[in-house]
Chain A
Amino acid sequence: MLGLDKKDFRLLLIVIAITLLAPFILNPFPENSGMAQFNAGYPDLMQRFVIYGIFAIGFNILFGLTGYLSFGHAAFLGVGSYAAIWMMKLVTLNVIPAIILGVIIAGLFALAVGYISLRRSGIYFSILTLAFAQMSYALAYSVLTPITGGETGLQIKSTDSPLLSNLEPGEIGRANLFGMDMRAGFDLSFGDWLFTINAGYYIAAVFMIIAFYLSIRIFRSPFGTMLRAVKSNQTRMYYTGLNARPYTLAAFVISGMYAGLAGGLLVAMDTQAGPERMFWTASGEVVLMTILGGAGTLIGPVLGSGAIKYMENILSKINKDILHEWFAFMPDGLEDFVITIVYPFIGKGWHLTLGLIFMAVVIFLPGGLVEGGQRIGRLLRGKKANPDDEKATQSTPAE
């Protein structure tokens, strides 16, 4: 259906179900309970899950299929954000034109960067993209301050009056979709459980589902096969008379446009753009997301981005007081000892935990979380899994 075979269609349905039910799935613990700390079902984080999911899906089209490791993908995210916010400041507060402009500008920028960077491969390609991204960051931070707002970034202000909107003087414009505010929504409470249904999240979720569908189609198309050929042996492709450059460039631009879409959506959900979005650590983050989840797999990047964003937002907020509450049942000396051991790994130490998990995944599960899931699945089914099964979801192992 929809041009997908049965297995892929099932995967798509699962992704659709999970994204649509996310507000419920992510809030499994009742409000006011000690475990509520681990609830992730609030609008901002859910939006980030799907937006960074899009970013990682796009990155995976380049890295997972062609094996070209771009270390500057955050630049496209940032460029998309700046384009989108200018569209909102000047033309209309509707998010659709802003997102479209973000995608187009990011695509053009990716075309320029890709045209130059793809002349080299391997580490030289990574360094070139990194250089471009750092250059964009530095420009946005200082030289281009009139356009980018420098360190403080850009926001919609009360002095902005977009052409196609009728704001009262002094009113601060808000992002909307044909009049529907991105923050519109309501709370559903079932007894102690509280679920937040948010308009912005569902709009972003629809974009992610479309992005995910497109990525399946690309993976399964002849074009996708060609990209895999680039990864396995580019020289051989050249010898058979095929020019790989147009294919890699197309993949680069497509993944740049995915990043632009993510950037535009970030602005649509939270109307501000700043240069940190383009910093090299942001580029590194998407690489981590993809590898953590499973490069070259369909669902992997989405899982990876979810895992990282969850840790960044939930783990980092656990402070010493909360630990004391948790371990209050222990005798005093032991409590302090346990807290001393645990404390470096939570709160500001979440980077450390992420690093350890990343190492564990790379060493023991080279195929990322997806491989972990497959192994568990195989164990449950008593190792009688069909070998085709693995092929379908994990076409090429990560390197």
Chain B
Amino acid sequence: MSKTDLTRRGLLKTSAIAGAGVALPTIFTASSAAAFTNEPTGDTVTLGFNVPQSGPYADEGADELRAYELAVEHLNGGGDGGMMNTFSSNALQGNGILGKKVEYVTGDTQTKADAARASAKSMIEKDGAVMVTGGSSSGVAVAVQALCQEAGIIFMAGLTHSNDTTGKDRKANGFRHFFNSYMSGAALAPVLAANYGTDRKAYHLTADYNWGYTTEEAVRASTEAMGWETVAAVKTPLTQTDFSSYIAPVLQSGADVLVLNHYGGNMVNSLTNAVQFGLREKQVNGKNFEIVVPLYSRLMAKGAGANVKGIFGSTNWHWSLQDEGSKAFVKSFGTKYGFPPSQAAHTCYVQAMLYADAVERAGSFNPCAVGEALEGFEFDGMGNGKTLYRAEDHQCFKDVLVVRGKENPESEFDLLEIVEVTPVDQVTYAPDHPQMGGAEATLGECNPGA
């Protein structure tokens, strides 16, 4: 009788050695074969949609997610194809990206940089996402963009309006389709001059954080350039909900225009307070008192209700635009969800499409190749007319919409009317513009990771 020496410890040892033997080749292949982070090897490719699902911008996040789901459907050949049919580049076939079916993972940014980075990291490290996109605040965009730069994947920014995203914090792996504070100021100024004259005195209320600063700076610079005078600029805490104590001094200051550099809930509250104080019925310096809101969104207009009537602001895109791209997008979004898309939805949909298209044209998912395909890329048919992805700072240059709160809205979505489409030339600036971080700001080198 032979004795087999099968102890538990012995078995463990042998299986560990065997396991290590099996594992060894894969260790080496894993590190040498991948040319860049998360190279998709199967027949699918994973994209990461990192949007605020909780917190103050949850509504926008929900709309962004709807747009991404629609984009994935179109990329995989489902639905009516949306803007793929109007997009000037015809690289996309509706068979996924480079023949790989598009899959996606979602995460919640909570509109906090830390949470957004944690969720983006889990997409990169756990789910193998090759691109991360989305977000609804500049703090998040800057944080996630830097993370993607480090990790070596592409970041397609969602809703972020602060100059810094493609200004002093620009990164080679990050791209922004949305417009920025500078463009808002440049687009608004001529319209304000035409409607309110060139000898106005402006009073700024500015949300006390980064986006507020860059917006105030941009609006001040462009309105002062056409002859306005800035009487005062007061910072308001971000958590403020009652602005009456800030509105009261406005009338004593001799100003005849109030600029509200506020976004989201801040803007809804400050505008409501200002209107309730009767500012808009006042006469100062022999002129009607006016209010301006540099960045508008439909969701904000909805929150402020009737108070937005007649108030000027700027926006990236609006569903009432009549070009082919916008019409196609509104149609397929409306068919799927039953209401028109917001500007956040539009920008996110376009970003997903642009990424997919760049990969097709580059013939590779390598972030450096994709970056090269996006840099200096000119396209049309995505809703804002001719658009350029500038190579120097990865900012899109396109027409900017100046809008006004509608006097007689026909539905809860029909709150803004387009006053003017400011042509792209008026909002273009030099890549080393002082508001954009000056000569010091650089993209750095593209990083493919691995």
Chain A residues within 8 Å of B, Cβ to Cβ: 39, 42-45, 48, 138, 141-143, 145, 150-153, 155, 157-159, 170-172, 174, 183, 186-191, 196, 270-272, 274, 276-277, 279, 312-313, 316-317, 319, 347-348, 351
Q: Do A158 and B442 have beta carbons less than 8 Å apart?
A: yes
Q: Do B208 and A276 have beta carbons less than 8 Å apart?
A: no
Query: CB-nearest residue of chain B relative to A155?
Result: B146
Query: CB-nearest residue of chain A relative to B62?
Result: A348
Complex CA–CA separation, A277 to B112 (angstroms): 9
Residue in B19, B54, B114, B442 whose beta carbon sits within 8 Å of that of A351 in the complex:
B54
**A-side contacts of B105, CB under 8 Å:** 317
A275 to chain B, nearest CB (A): 8
Complex CA–CA separation, A151 to B212 (angstroms): 10
Question: Are A347 and B53 also in contact (CB < 8 A) when A153-B143, A170-B442 are?
Answer: yes
**A-side contacts of B53, CB under 8 Å:** 316, 347-348
Question: Are A274 and B23 also in contact (CB < 8 A) when A150-B209, A152-B139, A348-B58 are?
Answer: no
Number of B residues, CB within 8 Å of A: 50
Residue in A42, A44, A348 whose beta carbon sits within 8 Å of that of B54 in the complex:
A348
Q: Which B residues from 415 to 450 make CB contacts under 8 A with A?
A: 440, 442, 444-445
Residue in B108, B112, B142, B208 whose beta carbon sits within 8 Å of that of A348 in the complex:
B108
**B-side contacts of A151, CB under 8 Å:** 137-139, 209-211
**B-side contacts of A44, CB under 8 Å:** 118, 121-122, 125
Q: Do A276 and B113 have beta carbons less than 8 Å apart?
A: yes
**A-side contacts of B442, CB under 8 Å:** 158-159, 170
Query: CB-nearest residue of chain B relative to A274?
Result: B113
**B-side contacts of A152, CB under 8 Å:** 113, 138-139, 142-143, 162, 164, 169, 210
Task: Determine whether B2 belongs to the interface, using a CB cutoff of 8 Å to chain A.
Answer: no
**B-side contacts of A157, CB under 8 Å:** 169
**B-side contacts of A312, CB under 8 Å:** 115, 118
Residue in A42, A170, A271 whose Cβ sees the most chain B Cβ within 10 Å: A42
Residue in B121, B235, B440 whose Cβ sees the most chain A Cβ within 10 Å: B121
Query: CB-nearest residue of chain A relative to B443?
Result: A158
A264 to chain B, nearest CB (A): 15
Q: Is the interface of A mostly helix, strand, loop or mixed?
A: mixed
**A-side contacts of B122, CB under 8 Å:** 42, 44-45, 313, 317
Residue in B119, B209, B235, B239 whose beta carbon sits within 8 Å of that of A316 in the complex:
B119
Query: CB-nearest residue of chain B relative to A143?
Result: B208
B251 to chain A, nearest CB (A): 26
13 contacts between A and B (CB under 8 A): A42-B121, A48-B118, A138-B239, A142-B208, A142-B238, A150-B209, A153-B113, A188-B23, A189-B26, A270-B121, A317-B106, A317-B119, A348-B58
Task: Determine whether B107 belongs to the interface, using a CB cutoff of 8 Å to chain A.
Answer: yes
Query: CB-nearest residue of chain A relative to B149?
Result: A172
Task: Determine whether B409 belongs to the interface, using a CB cutoff of 8 Å to chain A.
Answer: no
Q: Do B107 and A191 have beta carbons less than 8 Å apart?
A: no
A213 to chain B, nearest CB (A): 27
Task: Determine whether B1 belongs to the interface, using a CB cutoff of 8 Å to chain A.
Answer: no
Q: Do A317 and B143 have beta carbons less than 8 Å apart?
A: no
Q: Do B143 and A274 have beta carbons less than 8 Å apart?
A: yes
Residue in B30, B235, B445 whose beta carbon sits within 8 Å of that of A187 in the complex:
B30
Q: Do A272 and B143 have beta carbons less than 8 Å apart?
A: yes
Q: Which B residues from 131 to 146 make CB contacts under 8 A with A?
A: 137-139, 142-143, 146
Q: Do A316 and B444 have beta carbons less than 8 Å apart?
A: no
**A-side contacts of B238, CB under 8 Å:** 141-142
Query: CB-nearest residue of chain B relative to A269?
Result: B121
Would you list the 4 A-B pairs with minimal beta carbon distance, nearest first? A348-B53, A44-B121, A142-B208, A274-B113
Task: Determine whether B102 belongs to the interface, using a CB cutoff of 8 Å to chain A.
Answer: no
**B-side contacts of A277, CB under 8 Å:** 114
**B-side contacts of A279, CB under 8 Å:** 112
Query: CB-nearest residue of chain A relative to B151?
Result: A183
Q: Do B235 and A142 have beta carbons less than 8 Å apart?
A: yes
A187 to chain B, nearest CB (A): 5
Task: Determine whether B156 belongs to the interface, using a CB cutoff of 8 Å to chain A.
Answer: no
Task: Determine whether B150 belongs to the interface, using a CB cutoff of 8 Å to chain A.
Answer: yes
Q: Do A272 and B22 have beta carbons less than 8 Å apart?
A: no
Task: Determine whether B14 belongs to the interface, using a CB cutoff of 8 Å to chain A.
Answer: no
Query: CB-nearest residue of chain B relative to A134?
Result: B239
Complex CA–CA separation, A314 to B340 (angstroms): 32
Task: Determine whether B237 belongs to the interface, using a CB cutoff of 8 Å to chain A.
Answer: yes
Complex CA–CA separation, A186 to B27 (angstroms): 7
Residue in A138, A153, A172 whose beta carbon sits within 8 Å of that of B237 in the complex:
A138
Complex CA–CA separation, A312 to B125 (angstroms): 16
Q: Do A142 and B150 have beta carbons less than 8 Å apart?
A: no
**A-side contacts of B4, CB under 8 Å:** none
Q: Do A190 and B23 have beta carbons less than 8 Å apart?
A: yes
Complex CA–CA separation, A27 to B280 (angstroms): 62
A175 to chain B, nearest CB (A): 10
B133 to chain A, nearest CB (A): 15
Task: Determine whether B408 belongs to the interface, using a CB cutoff of 8 Å to chain A.
Answer: no
Task: Determine whether B117 belongs to the interface, using a CB cutoff of 8 Å to chain A.
Answer: yes
Q: Which B residues from 191 to 216 make CB contacts under 8 A with A?
A: 208-211, 213
**A-side contacts of B444, CB under 8 Å:** 158, 170, 172
Task: Determine whether B396 belongs to the interface, using a CB cutoff of 8 Å to chain A.
Answer: no
Q: A150-B209, A272-B143 given. 8 additional CB < 8 A pairs?
A: A44-B121, A151-B211, A152-B142, A152-B143, A187-B26, A270-B117, A272-B117, A348-B53
